[in-house]
Amino acid sequence: MNDMTPPAVRRSVADIEALFALPFADLLFQAQTVHRAHFDPNRVQLSTLLSIKTGGCPEDCGYCPQSARYDAGVENQGLLDLDAVLAAARAAKAAGAQRFCMGAAWRGPKQRDLEPVLDMVRSVRALGLETCATLGMLKDGQAEQLKAAGLDYYNHNLDTAPEFYGEIITTRDYQDRLDTLERVRHAGLHVCCGGIVGMGESRTQRAGLIAQLASLDPQPESVPINLLVQVEGTPLAGTEALDPLEFVRTVAVARICMPQSFVRLSAGRQQMSDAVQALCFLAGANSIFYGEKLLTTGNPAWERDQRLFETLGLTPL
């Protein structure tokens, strides 16, 4: 990694659209050049995500099967006990994961909800794993409690561009998300913040999402790029699928605009071919969610990922 590289350059939506419009080979060459200036191109960070509280969320996010407003076949499950979480964390570590992420389907945690999560964070951290949590919107003081318990990262995605946001979610606004991110930064936590593509947004709106992410100061340490997983019963089921090469372009543009961030292939990998994933790594992706489930949707089996890594000559960090 070259510490003498210049800082990230903030770009307008129009500038980011121009990147999207580059010939494919030119875009990937630029992304790969940026990637190699900051990272070993053959090393990938592995994270595992566990749903510690599933379903029953009051929000109306149009992509989410955990919303109480939709009948998407998700069985509500209360907060897992500490032993179950630790068993999953030990299995993730044994399988090669470096970071263990805990997700709860809340609008935001009440204090009585947060207390057992703090115990989980302390215990997972004691196993030698990096810790991450996604618990919804945080109130004043909650990020500080998570930091004191040993949390490394807090995930709170922007989901999409501001101008498309109201088409996807109406129960909270964009500023709510930015306020939580500000609390996370103020507490000294690392930020994991990305979005979802393939929700019917335009390319301009995909550029708008990346412009928002890249304008966060400092830029997020982790940027998950999710491809919509369409779940029957949610409003976005039946949305026209995004062209796989447009997804690769999105990864490449994210890498160029956020050169020092880990760009993570997140939801949607199960439906991608190995060839598309290989192009994503070439475009600058250097992190994946590892394990057979992402909250409630499927993910490639460990064995498939290990074979792909072997084929591509990739090794975990």
Q: Which residue has the tokens 């990998």?
A: 269
Please tell me which residue in 99, 172, 177, 192 is annotated as part of the active site: 192
CA dist., res. 291 & res. 101, Å (int): 12
Q: Are 70 and 235 within 8 A, CB to CB?
A: yes
How far apart (Å, rounded) are the C-alpha atoms in residues 297 and 287?
A: 18
Catalytic residue among 57, 193, 257, 280: 57
Half-sphere exposure of 315 (CA within 13 A, CB side): 2
Q: Is 51 left (phi over 0), alpha (psi -120 to 50) or beta?
A: beta
Catalytic residue from among 64, 193, 257, 280: 64
Token pair listed for 186: 């103020």
**Is-catalytic flag, 101?**
yes
Question: What's the CA gap between 257 and 83, in Å, rounded?
Answer: 41
Is 99 marked active-site? no
Which residue is listed with tokens 């907060």?
79
Using DSSP, state whether 158 is helix, strand or coil: coil
Q: DSSP for 169-227, please give it.
A: --SS-HHHHHHHHHHHHHTT-EEE--EEE-SS--HHHHHHHHHHHHHSSSPPSEEEEEE
How far is the C-alpha of 137 from the C-alpha of 287, rounded, in Å? Answer: 25
**Catalytic: which of 99, 183, 206, 264?**
264
The reply to whether 193 belongs to the active site is no
> Choosing from 11, 99, 132, 183, which is the catalytic residue?
132
- Catalytic residue (choose from 11, 61, 193, 249): 61
Catalytic site residue from 11, 101, 206, 280: 101
- Which of 157, 210, 209, 218 shows the shortest CA–CA distance to 185? 218
| 280 among known catalytic residues | no
Residue 257 a catalytic site member: no
Look at the block and give the residue holding tokens 């010939």. Answer: 23
- What amino acid positions are annotated as catalytic residues? 57, 61, 64, 101, 132, 192, 264
